[in-house]
A = this chain, B = another copy of it.
Amino acid sequence: MASGKKSVRSGFGATMSEVAERAGVTKMTVSRVVRHPEKVNPETRDRVTAAMAALGYVPNRLAGGLSAGSSGLVAAIVPTLRHSIFADTLEGIGDVLNEAGLGLFVSSSTYRSDVEESQIRSILERRPDALVLTGLTHTGATRELLRGFGIPVVETWETGDEPVDMAVGFSNREAAHAMTAELIRSGYRRIAFVNGPSESNERARHRAEGYLAAMREAGLPAPPIQIVNDEAAIRPETGARAIRLLMKSAPDVDAVFFTSDVFAVGAILACRELGVRVPEDMGIAGFHDLEIGRVVSPTLTTVHVPAMEMGRKAGHMILARLAGNRGASERYDLGFSIISRESTRRKH
Q: Which residues of A contact B (CB under 8 A)?
A: 1-3, 7-13, 56, 58-63, 65-66, 68-71, 73, 80-84, 87-88, 90-91, 94, 98, 101, 103-108, 121-127, 145, 148-151, 235-236, 262, 265-266, 268-269, 272, 291-292, 294-297, 326
Contacts and interface: CB of A to CB of B under 8 A. Distances in A.
Nearest to A95: B108
Contacts of A104: 105-107
A235 B295 CA distance: 11
A59 to B, nearest CB: 5
Contact of A13 (B90, B106, B148): B148
Nearest to A5: B69
A62 B294 contact: no
20 contacts: A9-B69, A11-B149, A11-B150, A13-B149, A58-B121, A58-B125, A60-B66, A60-B127, A61-B125, A62-B66, A62-B126, A63-B66, A73-B105, A94-B106, A103-B107, A103-B122, A104-B107, A105-B106, A236-B294, A291-B292
Contacts of A10: 150
A104 B7 CA distance: 24
A297 B273 CA distance: 12
A82 B17 CA distance: 42
A62 B7 CA distance: 17
A150 B2 contact: yes
A125 B73 CA distance: 12
Copies in the complex: 2
Contacts of A71: 62
Given A61-B127, A62-B126, A66-B66, 9 more contacts: A58-B145, A81-B94, A82-B87, A104-B105, A104-B106, A105-B106, A106-B106, A272-B297, A292-B292
A311 B76 CA distance: 20
A324 to B, nearest CB: 8
Contacts of A265: 295
Nearest to A298: B297
Nearest to A75: B103
Contacts of A126: 61-62, 73, 103
A338 to B, nearest CB: 21
